[in-house]
């Protein structure tokens, strides 16, 4: 499949008089795997929130499967795109994991049947695919960071949709959980054919993930293309304003990076 | 299953409280007076025209205030939110006080001047609190509570000003009403607030999925497809009207909306499909019980019920604030 799932044409957004996104243009195809990278405050999270219409006051054109984003009702949009906010966005009310995942079926509810036949199946399959069945009856407030992130992804899966947006899904996780989450997303991408866009500030996460990368700096696109091409001194310097050393991983042949302090 | 049993027990307990409370009091009511009402039997009149209507009024008010607290807690994602702490009750009180002071005799759609004033004041208060919290995005407990405190102070000073300029009779009437009381004769008062309370309960029932998602936060709610702004506007508006109507009748009875939803969350969990009926049943019974205590503790003298609920609510509020983090923690 190579049809455009999401087309952005000079998307710009201002918040409190400050320009957060400037003329962002990119085309995401169905089933693509994208990393959105950039330094803190580059507008990465904001970009996802604009696409999810959490922020609505942006300008420019965004088309979802050829149809302008503003023509979707929020429910229709939620059936096509699912979103997982930053892990700092904690859930404070003690819902169980199953209750939380079930809530993701909201966009499919009709006024006269809040719960449809397919809902239970979708919820159980999402719990199984993310490996959180054992946690289904635990309260969200008792989960560890890694467990919580998987529960969130289970929610996004239960919501269905053709595009998954995840904001820093591996930040704050230990190595094992980082690897598990990256692996899980890879699997979802291959099995369901959903396009996945993850925001990360970690270049290595993007390189290991593979696929394409969109690099932002101060709200503007500085790189857009295959992620391995981003791993060069000049381009990374442009994005992060720092210099890097490059390390060849003999096992995978991937070129990983390590920061080298500020440029002279 | 466990939750269904708790809900059933709440239903039985709530109805029992409503029916037993009128039997208690300084005047003993013989069974005959209940079964065979007679207009010339004083016991019968006390039961049927004074105590039962009062218990009904208490039940509806308590249910409404508890539900109002529950809804605000969902919208603000904060267990300390309720009509009283957000300043909505004092806004309603100011509106009603002004109406009393100015002797507004007008009525509209069956609502008295005081009720209309109360609703207007409640809407003004929630408008101010909401605007203040919107000025600082990333709503925190402290921003919200401080906004509520500020609104409370502001309206309280205006109420004192209105009271100060009133004559002795009006001034006493306002003071007495400010303490919160349910001393009404007959079922008129209950019928007055029943429709609006029922309407809000219907809206809340219709919006339980949205309420659940809103407690996760706006970002989650919107990404799941909730038209958050519209849903919140509907809820703010309808709850404020209901609180305004209740406060203008019974005075600003505090902390019902704080204590009841919280206790119910411990009983049936955070899911609003269960929490809503639980809050209604528990809130209703709770205010009936409080009023019965206020009525009988110092019999034959009566304590205004608002004093009693605040007496319980103050320490509860501090407990919620200081409680250490543990499972089920909601304060951020």
What residues of chain A lie within 8 A of the CB of B210, using their CB?
106
The angle, 0 to 180 degrees and rounded to 10, between the axes of the packed helices B141-165 and B88-101 is 10
Determine, yes or no, domain membership for A150.
no
Q: How far is CA A4 from CA A7, A65, A67, in A?
A: 7, 6, 11
For chain A, how many structural domains are there in total? 1
Q: Which residue has the higher pLDDT, B179 or B308?
A: B308
Task: Give the domain CATH number at A217.
Answer: 3.40.50.300
Selected residue of A103, A105, A135 to mutate for chain B interface (largest B Cβ count, 10 A): A103
| Predicted confidence (pLDDT) at residue B44 exceeds the cutoff of 70 | yes
Selected residue of A93, A123, A157, A167 to mutate for chain B interface (largest B Cβ count, 10 A): A93
A226 interfaces chain B, CB cutoff of 8 Å: no
Give the nearest chain B residue to A111 (CA atoms).
B206
Q: Where are the alpha helices (DSSP H) in B21-139?
A: 31-35, 42-45, 52-76, 88-101, 113-135
When the pLDDT of each residue in chain B is averaged and rounded to a whole number, the result is: 84
Task: Give the domain CATH number at B83.
Answer: 1.10.3470.10
What is the arithmetic mean of pLDDT over B52-59?
A: 92
Interface residues of chain B, partner chain A, Cβ below 8 Å:
77, 208-210, 212-213, 215-220, 222-227, 265, 269-271, 327-332
A103 interfaces chain B, CB cutoff of 8 Å: yes
Q: How confident is the model at residue B115 (pLDDT cuts 50, 70, 90)?
A: confident
Determine, yes or no, domain membership for A54.
yes
Q: What is the pLDDT of residues A204-243, one digit of tens each?
A: 999 988 899 999 999 999 999 999 888 888 888 888 888 8
pLDDT above 70 coverage of chain A, percent? 94
Q: How confident is the model at residue B153 (pLDDT cuts 50, 70, 90)?
A: confident
Q: What is the pLDDT of residues A171-212, one digit of tens each?
A: 888 899 999 999 999 999 998 889 999 999 889 999 988 899
Determine, yes or no, domain membership for B170.
yes
Structural domain span for residue A67: 4-92+161-259
Q: Which residues contact A178 (CB under 8 A, 6 or more apart)?
A: A170, A205
| Predicted confidence (pLDDT) at residue B278 exceeds the cutoff of 70 | yes
| Predicted confidence (pLDDT) at residue A91 exceeds the cutoff of 80 | no
> In this structure, are residues A22 and A12 in contact, taking their beta carbons and an 8 Å threshold?
yes
If you ran DSSP here, which 8-state letter would residue A55 be given?
S
When the pLDDT of each residue in chain A is averaged and rounded to a whole number, the result is: 89
A26 closest CA partner among A176, A212, A158: A212
What residues of chain B lie within 8 A of the CB of A92, using their CB?
77, 215, 329-332
A5 closest CA partner among A62, A43, A48: A62
Determine, yes or no, domain membership for A189.
yes
Determine, yes or no, domain membership for A174.
yes
What residues of chain A lie within 8 A of the CB of B324, using their CB?
none
> In this structure, are residues B287 and B253 in contact, taking their beta carbons and an 8 Å threshold?
yes
User: How far does B275 lie from chain A, in Å, by closest CA?
Assistant: 12
Determine, yes or no, domain membership for B111.
yes
* CB hemisphere CA count around B120 (13 angstroms): 14
Structural domain span for residue B145: 2-6+28-322
- Asked whether the beta carbons of residue B223 and residue A103 sit closer than 8 angstroms, the reply is no
Determine, yes or no, domain membership for A106.
no
Determine, yes or no, domain membership for B21.
no
Q: How confident is the model at residue B326 (pLDDT cuts 50, 70, 90)?
A: very low
| Predicted confidence (pLDDT) at residue B11 exceeds the cutoff of 80 | yes
For chain B, how many structural domains are there in total? 1
Determine, yes or no, domain membership for B327.
no
Determine, yes or no, domain membership for A236.
yes
| Predicted confidence (pLDDT) at residue A1 exceeds the cutoff of 50 | no
Determine, yes or no, domain membership for A9.
yes
């Amino acid at each position: 499949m190579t049809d455009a799932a999401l087309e952005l044409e000079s998307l710009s957004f201002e918040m409190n008089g400050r320009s957060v996104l400037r003329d962002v243009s990119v085309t995401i195809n169905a089933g693509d795997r994208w990393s959105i990278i950039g330094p803190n405050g580059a507008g990465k999270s904001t970009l996802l929130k604009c696409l999810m219409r959490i922020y609505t006051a942006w300008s420019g054109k965004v088309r979802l499967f050829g149809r302008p984003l503003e023509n979707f009702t929020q429910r229709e949009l939620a059936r096509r795109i699912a979103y997982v906010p930053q892990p700092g966005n904690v859930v404070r009310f003690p819902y169980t994991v199953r209750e939380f995942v079930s809530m993701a079926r909201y966009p499919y509810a009709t006024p006269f049947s809040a719960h449809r036949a397919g809902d239970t199946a979708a919820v159980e399959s999402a719990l199984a695919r993310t490996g959180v069945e054992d946690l289904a009856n635990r309260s969200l407030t008792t989960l560890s960071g890694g467990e919580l992130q998987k529960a969130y992804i289970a929610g996004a899966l239960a919501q269905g949709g053709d595009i998954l947006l995840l904001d820093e899904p591996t930040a704050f996780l230990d190595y094992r959980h980082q690897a598990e989450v990256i692996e899980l997303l890879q699997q979802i991408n291959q099995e369901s054919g959903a396009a996945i866009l993850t925001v990360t500030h970690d270049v290595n996460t993007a390189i290991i993930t593979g696929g394409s990368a969109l690099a932002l700096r101060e709200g503007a696109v500085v790189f857009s293309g295959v992620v391995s091409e981003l791993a060069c001194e000049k381009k990374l310097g442009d994005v992060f304003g720092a210099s890097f050393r490059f390390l060849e991983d003999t096992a995978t042949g991937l070129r990983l990076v390590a920061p080298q302090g500020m440029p002279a | 299953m466990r939750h269904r049993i708790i809900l059933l027990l709440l239903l039985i307990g709530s109805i029992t409280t409503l029916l037993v409370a009128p039997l208690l009091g300084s005047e003993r009511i013989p069974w005959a007076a209940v079964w065979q009402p007679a207009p010339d039997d004083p016991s019968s009149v006390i039961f049927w025209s004074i105590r039962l209507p009062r218990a009904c009024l208490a039940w509806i008010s308590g249910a409404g205030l508890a539900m109002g607290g529950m809804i605000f807690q969902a919208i603000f994602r904060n267990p300390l939110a309720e009509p009283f702490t957000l300043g909505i009750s004092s806004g309603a009180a100011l509106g009603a006080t002004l109406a009393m002071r100015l002797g507004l005799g007008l009525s509209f759609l069956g609502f008295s001047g005081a009720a209309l004033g109360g609703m207007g004041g409640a809407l003004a208060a929630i408008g101010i609190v909401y605007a203040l919290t919107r000025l600082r995005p990333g709503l925190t407990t402290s921003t919200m509570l401080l906004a509520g405190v500020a609104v409370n102070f502001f309206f309280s000073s205006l109420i004192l000003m209105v009271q100060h300029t009133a004559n002795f009779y009006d001034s006493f009437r306002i003071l007495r009403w400010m303490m919160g009381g349910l001393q009404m004769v007959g079922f008129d008062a209950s019928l007055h607030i029943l429709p609006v309370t029922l309407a809000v309960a219907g809206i809340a029932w219709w919006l339980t999925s949205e309420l659940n998602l809103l407690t996760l936060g706006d970002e989650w709610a919107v990404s799941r497809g909730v038209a958050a702004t519209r849903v919140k506007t509907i809820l703010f508006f309808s709850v404020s009207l209901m609180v305004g109507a209740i406060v203008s009748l019974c005075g600003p009875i505090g902390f019902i909306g704080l204590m009841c939803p919280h206790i119910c969350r411990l009983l049936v969990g955070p899911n609003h499909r269960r929490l809503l009926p639980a809050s209604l049943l528990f809130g209703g019974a709770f205010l009936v019980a409080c009023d019965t205590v206020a009525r009988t503790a110092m019999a034959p003298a009566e304590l205004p019920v608002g004093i009693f609920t605040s007496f319980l609510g103050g320490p509860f509020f501090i407990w919620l604030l200081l409680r250490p983090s543990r499972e089920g923690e909601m304060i951020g």
